Amino acid sequence: MPKFIRNAKNFFLFQSVAIFLSLSGLFYTIFLIRYNNYYNFYKAHAEEDTANRLKSLKHSVNTIFSDLMILSESDELIEFSATERKHDKLKTTQTFLKFLRYKNIYDQIRYIDNTGLEKIRVNYNYGNSSIIETAKLQNKNQRYYFKESIKLNKNEIYISPIDLNIENEEIQIPLKPMLRIATVIFDKNQNKRGVLIINILADYILKDFDSNNKEDSDIHSLLNAEGYWLKSDLKENEWGFMYAEKKDLTFQNRFPKEWSEIISGKEGTIETENGIFVFIKIYPVQLMGDFSKNSAVFNDKKIENRLWYMISQVPDSKLNEKRKSIQHELIVIFLIVYIIILIFNYLMSKYKEKERLSEEDLKAAQLQLTQINLTFLTFTQNHEENINKITALAGELLEGVCALYNRISEGMLCSLGMWNAPADYNPYDKPDGHICYDVIKLKKDGVFLVQDLQKSIYAKTDPNVTAYKLETYAGHAIKRYDETIGSLCVVFQRNIQLTENQREILGILASAIGLEEERMKDDADLVNARMAAENANRAKSKFLANMSHEIRTPMNAIMGFTSILFEEIEDPEHKSYLNSVQLAGKTLLHLINDILDLSKIEAGAFHLENKAFNAHELFNEIKTIFSQKASEKNLDLLVNIDENLPEVIVHDEIRLRQVLLNLVSNAIKFTEKGYVRLSASKEIFENDNNRFNLKFSVEDTGIGIKEKDQKLIFDPFLQATDQSHSKYGGTGLGLSITKRLIEIMEGSIFLESAVDKGSIFSVTIKNIAAKVFESDEKEDKKTLKDLVFKKSKILIVDDVHESRAKIRGFLEKYNFEIYEAENGKEGVDFALEFRPDLIFIALKMQVIEEYVAVKILKENSKTKLIPIVVLIAPDMKNDEIEIKDICDGHLRKPIDKNELLKETAKFLAHRDDNENI
């Protein structure tokens, strides 16, 4: 379908024109068919009617001919013609009179002898019969009808032209059309005695040409040989030949073309613009049928003079009328059909348009939903940015001039999301009068649509309406949880009506902003809660640190003086008292340490310091620490170390020692006989030889733990129910801290215990690095002392004098020129000026100057190849990776001499022992 027809209006017009043309063609065809049918019907009807009239005429003519012959052969007349006796005359006259009365179609019957004298004359004159006296009888020997008829032979008939009767030399009024027929009378001896003449009222014949049927609008005419009307639709046209002034009233003059065809043919149908003409050329004597064979044969000329033309005309007026009638009828039907089709077409167009619009709406809605989803996918944690995206999407999808997300904040109306806002738009304003404020204040549900803004109250109250010539406002309230906090609106500079789809989109986007607001609030609440928790934690940590400090100081005095007194006092009893004070002090100190550890763990401030150390040595050290105590209790302290366990592993040695100390200490404390066994082994990974799980267990044959207490003992301050505090002491924090430490190490602890049989604490610490440093470390320790460096320049950048001095102290015995800088700027200046071979730069949290210095040095072509080793402050935990990326190496403070030398050796030329540089 061409594009322009897709428009419903164009489609309707196109279809209307097409239907009009098609219907016109169809109706024209129908018109032609119907008109032709009528035309042919009229023609056939005229022809049939003409045939019928001819038949009727034949019958009339035959009647009068037979009447003539009957009378001519009557005995009375024959006798009279011969004798001329009165008696015979009387009889003949009586016969004539009876005949006239009986027939009622004749006007006069006469017998004229061969001299031309009237012998008998009987008039009928429309029923007033009269016998003309002998005295009044005339001699007609000069009359044309006598002259012609007296010439006839036996059984021959004379027929006169039809004309009007003339009386006393004038046309008889009223007009009396008259036809005369005559035949000769022979006596018994076959002597011609005279002629019998019958005057026939021609109306008898002409009646066949009257229009009997009023509905028959055909014109039936009878013409004489000259073309004068004997019978016409117009009376004034008739008998033209009888009047001198009507000599021109002929068919020929009226229808010359038709006349020329009529006179040249015998019968036929002529179709002209004047109508249909059905004609028959009639010779009256030929109408006589059986009589005709006896009829007189006139010469041709005379016959031609006696002929009639019978014409039936279907007039053009009738055809035109019919044509118009059909036209009118068809036009009415055409219009009705066309209007019905137009209405149907219009409805179809509407339906199709609606269908098309529905499809387009559906497609548009799908596209818009896709666009919304794609926008949602781009959302980040930046909720304000997300809100701006949603606002922009609302403006674009609703095709407004501007879209805003307004929220009431601290009593002001603030535009937090803006799309296409004019440069001079004021995003902060007092809320009163603004449409948005009404949406918020009135908590409008659904879309709030205001049209004709310029005529509305808002033209006076909302400054934006007049300033930006707004006509339509489409807004939607924004709810954060159940609270209405703002409105999303799209404005237009023309009056528009939102579609259902657009309303839904506005609703969806308003909900999306509501969700963003909820998330923003949740985030803020979370941040506040986190800050509150962190503040609380900091306060707790600070409190505990302070408490620790405050307790340790007097504890120091107590334990210090106790210790000094213990040396001074000799009395064993007093010594035992002091011992108790000392023990109580140690317990209190232990408790303080445990509380500090637990507090740090719970605050998440506990970090592992993983370094390579000798695990075998650690386990043996534990044995050493507790061997005396075990011996005092007569216990066997066994340490079983799997020989496959790597000697050097990488982990937090201090915390691992703390765990072992706790577990072994507990085992010895709660075991009165038997043994305590510390076992250590490794669990290897299938695909990684460098990593393994460290497994160790502490097994004792002590009092054991009831099943119901086995879970409780890992909770802070909880001890087994039957554990005698007075007997065993303890803070109840040891196992809790142990479990938490193991969890921080990504490990797990598992307890198996039976009362009076003993307990086994099994620990697994996962994913420990092994072997990597084992040989290197040993090698390092052996060789670092023997390093001989080539003379090089080293720059130390650190704001702490002691730190610089410490590094200088570690390096000064080597062949270096050492320079110092107190800050980043000084360091950069120095490096650019003197180009050192190696730079150590100390980095601290929240001090960016040194970071900038590193960046400058690495971007400057003069210094970018100088290796930089950053010195990381002890409290910097998570920035290591980023620092590694921008520098050549790093060391964590406090600086270890060996590590410092190792790092230096990476970048500066040196030799080992006798090796040449």
Partner 1 sequence: MTIKRILFVDDEEDIRTVVKVSLEKVGGFTLQICSSGKEALQAAPHFRPDLLLLDVMMPEMDGIATLSALREISELKEIPVIFLTASVQEEQVAKLKEHGALDVIPKPFDPLTLPEVIKSICE
Chain positions contacting partner 1, by CB under 8 A = 545, 548-561, 563-564, 567, 585, 589, 593, 596, 600, 609, 800-803, 805-806, 873-875, 893-894
Q: Which is nearer to partner 1, 669 or 806 (CB)?
A: 806
- Rounded distance, CA 647 to CA 653, Å? 13
First to last CA, the chain: 90
Rg (CA), the chain: 72
Q: Which is nearer to partner 1, 177 or 824 (CB)?
A: 824
Q: Which is nearer to partner 1, 457 or 605 (CB)?
A: 605
- Rounded distance, CA 436 to CA 457, Å? 14
Q: Which is nearer to partner 1, 37 or 553 (CB)?
A: 553
Q: What is the DSSP letter of 275?
A: E
Q: Which is nearer to partner 1, 230 or 842 (CB)?
A: 842
- Rounded distance, CA 508 to CA 280, Å? 95
DSSP 3-state of 383: helix
DSSP 3-state of 791: coil
Shortest distance in whole angstroms from residue 847 CB to partner 1: 14
Q: 784 burial class (0-12, 13-18, 19+ CB within 10 angstroms)?
A: middle
Signed CA dihedral, 811, 813, 815, 816: sign only? positive
Q: Which is nearer to partner 1, 176 or 806 (CB)?
A: 806
Q: Which is nearer to partner 1, 167 or 567 (CB)?
A: 567
Shortest distance in whole angstroms from residue 898 CB to partner 1: 16
Q: Which is nearer to partner 1, 426 or 563 (CB)?
A: 563
Both structure tokens of 92: 């003949």
Shortest distance in whole angstroms from residue 732 CB to partner 1: 21
Which neighbouring-strand residues pair with 279?
268, 311
Those residues with Cβ within 8 angstroms of residue 68's Cβ, 6 or more apart along the chain or in another chain:
157, 181, 182, 183, 196, 198
- For the stretch 542-551, contacts whose Cβ atoms lie closer than 8 Å and that sit 24 or more positions apart, written own/partner, are 544/595, 544/596, 544/599, 545/596, 547/592, 548/592, 548/595, 548/596, 551/588, 551/592
Q: Which is nearer to partner 1, 172 or 556 (CB)?
A: 556
Q: Which is nearer to partner 1, 29 or 579 (CB)?
A: 579
| Strands lying side by side in the sheet with 402-409 | 428-429, 412-419, 402-409, 483-492, 472-480, 447-450
Shortest distance in whole angstroms from residue 589 CB to partner 1: 7
Which neighbouring-strand residues pair with 109?
122, 198
Q: Which is nearer to partner 1, 346 or 606 (CB)?
A: 606
Q: Which is nearer to partner 1, 355 or 609 (CB)?
A: 609
Shortest distance in whole angstroms from residue 803 CB to partner 1: 6
Shortest distance in whole angstroms from residue 701 CB to partner 1: 34
Shortest distance in whole angstroms from residue 896 CB to partner 1: 11
Shortest distance in whole angstroms from residue 563 CB to partner 1: 5
Whether 198 and 109 have beta carbons less than 8 Å apart is answered as yes
Shortest distance in whole angstroms from residue 714 CB to partner 1: 25
Q: Which is nearer to partner 1, 58 or 892 (CB)?
A: 892
Phi, psi of 99, rounded to the nearest 5 degrees = -60, -45
DSSP 3-state of 506: helix
Question: Nearest to residue 286, comparing CAs of 263, 302, 303?
Answer: 303
Q: Which is nearer to partner 1, 78 or 598 (CB)?
A: 598
Shortest distance in whole angstroms from residue 552 CB to partner 1: 4
Q: Which is nearer to partner 1, 566 or 675 (CB)?
A: 566
Shortest distance in whole angstroms from residue 658 CB to partner 1: 13
- Rounded distance, CA 572 to CA 246, Å? 188
- Rounded distance, CA 910 to CA 605, Å? 41
Both structure tokens of 271: 């179709």
Shortest distance in whole angstroms from residue 550 CB to partner 1: 8
Question: Nearest to residue 666, comparing CAs of 707, 717, 700, 709?
Answer: 700
Per the listing, tokens 């009396």 go with 176
Phi, psi of 756, rounded to the nearest 5 degrees = 65, 5
Signed CA dihedral, 312, 315, 318, 322: sign only? positive
Both structure tokens of 579: 């011992």
Q: Which is nearer to partner 1, 155 or 541 (CB)?
A: 541
Shortest distance in whole angstroms from residue 809 CB to partner 1: 9
Determine the distance from the C-alpha atom of residue 524 to the mean position of all C-alpha atoms in its chain, rounded to a whole number. 40
What number of CA atoms fall less than 13 Å from residue 699's CA on the CB side? 13
Whether 673 and 701 have beta carbons less than 8 Å apart is answered as yes
Shortest distance in whole angstroms from residue 560 CB to partner 1: 3
Whether 887 and 854 have beta carbons less than 8 Å apart is answered as yes
Q: Which is nearer to partner 1, 561 or 685 (CB)?
A: 561
Shortest distance in whole angstroms from residue 607 CB to partner 1: 9
Per-residue burial over 584-606, b = 16 or more CB atoms within 10 Å of its CB, e = otherwise:
ebeebbeebbbbbbbbbbebeeb
Q: Which is nearer to partner 1, 329 or 609 (CB)?
A: 609
Q: 713 burial class (0-12, 13-18, 19+ CB within 10 angstroms)?
A: buried
Q: What is the DSSP letter of 722?
A: T
Whether 218 and 312 have beta carbons less than 8 Å apart is answered as yes
Per the listing, tokens 């006092």 go with 569
Shortest distance in whole angstroms from residue 874 CB to partner 1: 3
Shortest distance in whole angstroms from residue 609 CB to partner 1: 8
Shortest distance in whole angstroms from residue 895 CB to partner 1: 9
Both structure tokens of 910: 């040196």
- Strand 130-131 vs strand 157-159: parallel, antiparallel, or unpaired? unpaired
Helices 8-72 and 316-377, packing angle to 10 deg? 160
